[in-house]
Structure 1
Amino acid sequence: MNRQTFLHGALVLMISGLVTRVMGFVYRVLLTRLIGAQGMGLFQIVFPILGLVLTFVTAGLPLAISKLVAEAVAQNDKARVRRIMRISVWIVAVLAILFTILMVVCRHVVANRWLTDPRAYPAYLAMIPLIGVIAISSLYRGYFQGLQDMGPTAWGLILEQTVRIISVWILAAYFVHISLAYAAAAAMMGMVLGELSGLLFLVFQQRRRGKLDDILPNADNRTTETTRDTIRAMRVIALPVTLSKLIWSILFAAEPVLVMRALKHAGFSTVMSTTMYGQYSGMAIPLLVFPTVFTGSLATNLVPSVSESIAANEAFRVRIRLAQSFTATAMVAFPTAVVLTMFATPLTHYIYKEGSVGPILAVMAPFMFFLCLQAPLTGILQGLNKTGIAMTNSIIGGLLKLLLIILLASRPTMGVLGVSMATAASFSVSCILNLWFVVRYVGFSIRLHSLARVAVASCGMFVYMQAITMRHTELPLSSLMLAVIGGFILYFALLCALRVLTSRNIRRVPRVGPWLSQVVKWMPFAI
C-alpha cells in the first residue's frame, strides 16, 4: 500500500464524497417522491436516537484510531497499531451487543415517551441492526484514515449508496402502498443493507491492502509502550470526543421533540408539524450541507496530517494546512451560498416538487461559509489534541440552537423558519469560536487577499445570474440551468483571471492536475 499525501487523500475523499453526495440526492429525491414530506418526517424523527446510541457504542474510538495509528506508523511501531485495533474492537463489540439488546428491551418506552409521532415506531425497529454494523465500519474507516489511505473508505461509501438506492427503489416502492409508517421503515432497511455492504467491502480491503506486515515490513513486533499507556492515550483522545458527541447527540435527539412541540404550540397539527420537520431536516438540510462534502474531506485528512506534523515538530505545516483549508472553503462556500440563496425556491421545486422548502433553505444559505469551515477547524483542533475545546464550542452552538428553537419556532408568524434561523446561528457561533482558538494556538495564517479575490469572483457570478433571471417571475427550468451552469463557468474563469487558480497550483493535483492545468492556461491571466 502506498501512503497518500494530504492533497491526494483529500482529493480522493472529495471525489468519492461528491459522487456519494450526488447519489445521496438521487436517494433523497426518490424517497421524497415515494413517501412525501410527511414520510420523510417519520424517517428523520428516529435518526437522533441512532446518533445518540452510536455515541455510546463507538466511544470516540474512530478518531483515536485515526490519530494514534498515524503516529504509530510514523514511528514504525507495528505492535502498537495491532494493540490499538485489538482494544478498540473488543470495546466496540461489547458495547454494540449491550445497546442492541437495550434498544430491543426498551422499544415500548421509546415508542410511548420519545417518538413524537407513533407512526415512526416501525422505522425505529428497522434501525436497530444498524448499531453494530455502523460501529464496526467506523473502526475500519479510522484504521484506513490513520494509514492515510482513503481509497477503501471512498469506494465503500459509493457501494453503500448504490445498495441503498436500489433497496429503497424496491422496498419503499412496495411498502408505500401499505402505509407511510412501513414505507419509512423500508427506507431504514435500505440503509441497513447499504451499511452492511460497505462493512463487508472494508473487511475485504483490509485483508487485501491493509495488512500491517505489508505496510511496515521492517518494523519490530514489540513496542516500548505498555498496554496501560496505549489505553491512556486512547482515553485522552476518545473521552473528550465521546463527551462532545454525547452532549451533541442528546441535543440532537432533543431537537425533533422541541421542534414538534414548538410547532404545535404555534398552532400546527401533529401531521402538519411532522410534514414541516420533514421539509426542514429531510429536504432543506441535505441541500444545505451538500458543499460540506469538500470541506469534510479536508477535515478527515487534517486529523492525521496535523498529528503527524506535531509529532515531527513541524508546526509550520499546520499553519500551511490552515491557510489551504481557509481558501478552499471560501472557493466552495461563497458561490454555493449565492446559488442557494438566489434560487432556493425553484431548486427545491424542481428537485423535490416541494417549492415550500425554499424559504427554509434561503434562511440558512447565506451562512454557508461558517458551515463549511466548521469541520476543517474542528479537524485542526483535534489534531492538536484540543478536542475538549472543539467539544465545548460544539456544545455552546447546540444549546444556542435549542434555546432559539423554543423562542422562535413557537411563534405562529415564524414556525419552521425559526428552526432554520436557530440552525444558522448555531453553526455560525461554533465556527467563530473554533476559529478563535485555532488562530490562538497555530497563528494567523489566513490569506486575506485570496479570500477577497474569491469574493469578487462570487460577486461577478451573482451579477451574471441576476441578469439572466431578473425578467422571470416564475423561473423555468431551462433559465435556471443556464443561470447556474453559466454562473459557475464564469466563476471558474474569474478565479483564473484573478490568479486564485493558476496552471501551476492546479498541476499539483494528483493524476488530473496535468491535463486540467492545460485547460486553465487558456483562461485569461492564468499562468
Structure 2
Amino acid sequence: MKRQTFVHGALVLMAASLVTRIMGFVYRIFLTRLIGASGMGLFQLVFPLLNLVLTFVTAGLPIAISKLVAEAVAAGDRVRILRIIRVSSWVIGVLAVIFTAIMWFARHFILHHWLSDPRAYPSYLAMIPIVSIIAIATIYRGYFQGIQDMTPTAVASIIEQTVRILTIWGLAAYFIRFSLPFAAAAAMMGMVFGELSGLLYLIFQQKKRARINQILPNAPARSSETVRQTLRSLAAIAAPVTLSRLISSAIFALEPILVTRALLKAGMTTHAATSAYGEYSGMAIPLLLFPTVFTWSLATNLVPNVSEAIAGSNLRRVRVRLSQSFLATAIVGFPSSVMLALFATPLCASIYHQAEVGKILAVMAPAGFFLYLQAPLTGILQGLDHAGIAMRNSIIGGILRLGMIYFLARQPHLNIMGVAYAVTISIVVTTILHMISVGRRIGFPVRLESLLKTIFASLIIYGFLEIITKRTTTAVGGKLWLAIFAGFLLYFLLLCGMRVVTTDNVKRLPKIGQLLATIVSWVPFSV
C-alpha cells in the first residue's frame, strides 16, 4: 500500500472536513429551525457528559495508537502493530462495557442531580448507545492515521454526517409533533445511526486495503517487544492525554451547569437560561469553529508525522512542519476572524434566523486565529512526547474559563455575553502557553515575511468589507454571501500578488495542484 504524504493526507482530511462541516451546518440549520434555541439547549446539555464518558472509555488511546503504529511502520515491525491493536482493543472494549452500564444504571441520578433542565433526560437516554460505537471506531481511526492513510477516515466522516442528516430529518420532524424533549432525543438518535454507519465503513476498508501484510509485506515476523512493554508504551502516551481530556471534559461538563446557574443568578428564568446556552453553544460556537476544518486536519496528520520524524532523529522536519502549519493557520485564521466579526449578526440571521446570536459570535471572533492554532500546536507537542505539557496548558485555560464564566455571566448587564468574554480570554491564554511550550523545545520557526503579508492582506479585506457594509444596507441573503465571496477573492488575489501563494508551492498539492497553479499564474507577480 502506498502511504500518503503529509500534504496529501492533510488535504484529504481538509476536503472531507469541509464537506462534513458544511453538511453539519445544513443539519444544524434544519434542526435549529425545527426545535428552536430551547431544543438546541436540551440537545447541547448532554454533550459535555458524553465527552466526559468518552474520555474515560477511549483513554487517550487513539493518539497513542496513531503514534506507536507510525513508529512501528517506520521500523518495519508488523508484529508490534498487531500487538498494539490487540492490546488497545481489549482496553477500550472493557472500558466501553463498564461505562455503558454505568450510564444506564446511573440514569436516575443524572436526571435529578446533573441535568439542570429535566427535559434533556430523553436525549441522555438516546445518547447511551453512542459510547460503544465511537469507542470501537477510534481504534480504526487511530490505526489509519498511524499508517498515514487518511482517506478511509475522511470518507467515513462524510458517511456519518449524511446518515445523521437523513435520520434527523425523519425522526426529529416526526417527534416534534409529540414534544420538544422527544424531538431533541430523536436528533441524538440520528447521531447514533451516523456513527454506526461510519464504523461499518472503517471496518470494511481495513479488511479491503489496510491489512498488515499489505502495509509491510516483507517485514520480519518477529518483534522484540512483549505485551507488557506494548501496554506500557500505550499507557505512557495515553495517560497524559487521558488526564488532559478528562479534566477538559469535566470542565466542559461543568460548563452548562455553571452557565445556566450563573444566568439564573443574573435574573433569567430556567427556560431563558437554557435558550441562551443553546444560542451560545449550539449556534455561535459552531460558526466560530467552522475554520477548524483546516487546522484539525493538520493536527490529526501532525501526530504520526512528527512521531515518525522523531523516531528517525529528524528534528529539522518537525520544524518545517511547525512553520508550514503556523502559516497555513494564519492564512485561514486571519480572514475568517475578520469575516466572522464583521458579519456576525447577518450570518446568524441568515443561517439560524436568530440575529441576536450575532452579538455572542462578534465577541469571540477576534480570537479565532488563536483558537485555530491550538490544534496544530497540540498535535506537535503530542508527537514530541510532551502530551503532559499540552495537558497542563489546557487545564490552566479551562479553569480560567470556568472561573471567569462564573464571575461574568452572573452580572445582569452581561449574562450570556459574560460567557463569550470568558471563552475569548481562555482561548488566547491557552494558545500563548502552547506557543511558549513548543518554542522552548524546538524553537518557533516562522516565515515572518509571509506572516506579515498575510496580516496585511487581512487588514485590506477588513477595510474593503467595512466600506461595502457602510455604503450599502445591512447585508442579508444574497448580498451577504456575495460580500463574503468578494472579500475572500480579494484576499486570494492579494496573497498571490504578494507571493505568499505561488505556482511553485501549489503545484505540490496532489491531484488539484496543476489546476490551482494555472489559476494562480493568471495573477500578476505570482509566478
Q: State the TM bucket, normalised to the shorter chain.
A: over 0.9
After superposition, give the CA deviation of every residue in 1:407-455 in whole Å (9 maximum; x if it has no partner).
1000000011111111111121111001001011111301121111001
Equivalent residue for 1:242?
Answer: 242
Task: Tell me if structure 2 keeps the 8 A contact 1:4–1:148.
Answer: yes
Consecutive aligned runs of 4 or more in structure 1 exceeding 2 Å deviation = 471-479
> Aligned-pair distance for 1:473?
4.7
Distance 2:18 2:271 in 1: 34
After superposition, give the CA deviation of every residue in 1:61-103 in whole Å (9 maximum; x if it has no partner).
1000000000001100000000000011111111111111111
Task: Tell me if structure 2 keeps the 8 A contact 1:175–1:182.
Answer: yes
Distance 2:150 2:335 in 1: 27
Task: Tell me if structure 1 keeps the 8 A contact 2:325–2:376.
Answer: yes
Equivalent residue for 1:478?
Answer: 478
Equivalent residue for 1:56?
Answer: 56
Distance 2:423 2:444 in 1: 28
Equivalent residue for 1:413?
Answer: 413
TM-score (norm 1): 0.99
Distance 2:463 2:397 in 1: 34
After superposition, give the CA deviation of every residue in 1:378-433 in whole Å (9 maximum; x if it has no partner).
00000000000000000000000000000100000001111111111112111100
Equivalent residue for 2:488?
Answer: 488
Matches within 5 A, 1:10-159: 10-159=10-159
Residue 378 of structure 1 aligns with an amino acid whose one-letter code is T
Distance 1:114 1:95 in 2: 22
Distance 1:91 1:158 in 2: 28
Equivalent residue for 1:271?
Answer: 271
Residue 510 of structure 1 aligns with an amino acid whose one-letter code is P
Task: Tell me if structure 1 keeps the 8 A contact 2:350–2:476.
Answer: no
Alignment partner of 1:446: what SS?
coil
Distance 2:287 2:249 in 1: 22
Structure 1: state its 5+ residue gaps: none
Distance 2:349 2:424 in 1: 22
Alignment partner of 1:524: what SS?
coil
Task: Establish whether residue 524 from structure 1 lines up as the match of residue 524 from structure 2.
Answer: yes
Task: Tell me if structure 1 keeps the 8 A contact 2:506–2:517.
Answer: yes
Equivalent residue for 2:339?
Answer: 339
> Aligned-pair distance for 1:477?
2.2
Task: Tell me if structure 1 keeps the 8 A contact 2:133–2:195.
Answer: yes
Q: CA RMSD in A?
A: 0.7
Distance 1:477 1:21 in 2: 20
Task: Tell me if structure 2 keeps the 8 A contact 1:333–1:369.
Answer: yes
Equivalent residue for 2:163?
Answer: 163
Structure 2: state its 5+ residue gaps: none
> Aligned-pair distance for 1:220?
1.6
Equivalent residue for 1:460?
Answer: 460
Task: Tell me if structure 1 keeps the 8 A contact 2:396–2:430.
Answer: yes
Alignment partner of 2:3: what SS?
coil
Task: Tell me if structure 2 keeps the 8 A contact 1:464–1:483.
Answer: no
After superposition, give the CA deviation of every residue in 1:89-138 in whole Å (9 maximum; x if it has no partner).
11111111111111110100000000000000000000000000001001
Equivalent residue for 2:200?
Answer: 200
Distance 2:410 2:277 in 1: 13
Task: Tell me if structure 2 keeps the 8 A contact 1:469–1:479.
Answer: no
Task: Tell me if structure 2 keeps the 8 A contact 1:12–1:150.
Answer: yes
Alignment partner of 1:499: what SS?
coil
Equivalent residue for 1:178?
Answer: 178
Task: Tell me if structure 1 keeps the 8 A contact 2:288–2:361.
Answer: yes
Task: Establish whether residue 375 from structure 1 lines up as the match of residue 375 from structure 2.
Answer: yes
Alignment partner of 1:470: what SS?
helix
Task: Tell me if structure 2 keeps the 8 A contact 1:409–1:416.
Answer: yes
Q: Between the two proteins, what is the percent identity of the paired residues? A: 60
TM-score (norm 2): 0.99
Distance 1:515 1:261 in 2: 54
Task: Tell me if structure 2 keeps the 8 A contact 1:468–1:479.
Answer: no
Distance 1:74 1:177 in 2: 56
Residue 150 of structure 2 aligns with an amino acid whose one-letter code is M
Distance 2:250 2:343 in 1: 34
Aligned residues, how many? Answer: 527
Task: Tell me if structure 2 keeps the 8 A contact 1:145–1:300.
Answer: yes
Alignment partner of 1:184: what SS?
helix
Task: Tell me if structure 2 keeps the 8 A contact 1:338–1:458.
Answer: yes
Distance 1:425 1:198 in 2: 36
> Aligned-pair distance for 1:482?
2.3
Task: Tell me if structure 2 keeps the 8 A contact 1:501–1:526.
Answer: yes
Task: Tell me if structure 2 keeps the 8 A contact 1:310–1:384.
Answer: yes
Residue 470 of structure 2 aligns with an amino acid whose one-letter code is M
> Aligned-pair distance for 1:472?
3.6
